[in-house]
Structure 1
């Protein structure tokens, strides 16, 4: 069971990260080109947020069905520390930032401020997530 959920977590990560990258690029383009914030821009951000929230739910499942259990809190093994502490913590912080950005952008009036909010919050969240992906296990 663990292997199936772990493979789902790894596979879904490609889609989730891709959608967040697309949302950030779309927001940067919208901000720079001063275009009007449209329904498609909203959908891109919402799909990215939905994919990343799904990813965190799958990740929590992986975390609790892992055969390592609480032994992952060992600070002596850097690879184990990355997958058991750093990766989940930084990703949750990144996802919280993206969620805050989503809520804040909905309250904005102008297109420029909507694009700017999504760019900042999704961009910071993406950087945090990319900084703690266990790249050695990903490829």
Structure 2
């Protein structure tokens, strides 16, 4: 089960990151051109939000079926924190990515509470951009691209 969830989580990440980048660029393009926030802009941002949340759910499932979790149980949290690989997979990657998904959700929620198009683009653009950078910072690149 671990291998199939791992593969799905890895491939879904490409789509989630790509859509998040598109939504971020779209928001900043709308902000810089001072155009109205349209239903198309809403859909782009919402699809990025949905894909990001699905990625989070896949990650949570992966976390609990991961052999790293059993290693952590056997070795203890002190050993996890001393091992950079275990720390990345069991602490840094999940925590930072959950923070990123929270920021995406906050950006989406805050945009709904305002009527001004520029404020909508600004809220989505900045929150999605920060989340995108956080996600990129904690990807285990060596495992993901191999």
Question: What's 1:32 paired with?
Answer: 32
> Any gaps of 5 or more consecutive residues in structure 2?
none
Q: Distance in 2 between matches of 1:80 and 1:9?
A: 18
Could you tell me how far apart the structure 2 residues matched to 1:119 and 1:70 are?
A: 39
What is the 5 A alignment of 1:120-131?
A: 120-131=126-137
Question: Aligned ranges for residues 60-71 of structure 1 at < 5 Å?
Answer: 60-71=60-71
Distance apart, 1:77 and its partner CA: 1.2
Output aligned runs, 1:81-120, within 5 Å: 81-120=87-126
Larger radius of gyration, structure 1 or 2? 2
Matches within 5 A, 1:43-82: 43-72=43-72, 73=77, 74-82=80-88
Partner residue in 2 for 1:23: 23
Structure 1: runs of 5+ lacking an equivalent = none
- Give the RMSD, CA atoms, in angstroms: 0.9
TM-score normalised according to structure 1 size: 0.97
Residues 49 and 105, structure 2, Cα contact 8 Å, conserved in 1:
yes
How far apart are 1:70 and its partner, in Å? 4.8
Q: CA deviation at 1:71?
A: 3.1
| In 1, Cα distance between equivalents of 2:119 and 2:81 | 42
TM-score (norm 2): 0.92
1:91, CA displacement in angstroms?
0.3
The alignment partner of 1:102 has SS state of helix
Cα deviations across residues 16-62 of structure 1 (Å, max 9, x unaligned)?
Answer: 00000000000010000101100000000000000000000000000
User: 1: CA distance between counterparts of 2:70 and 2:42?
Assistant: 40
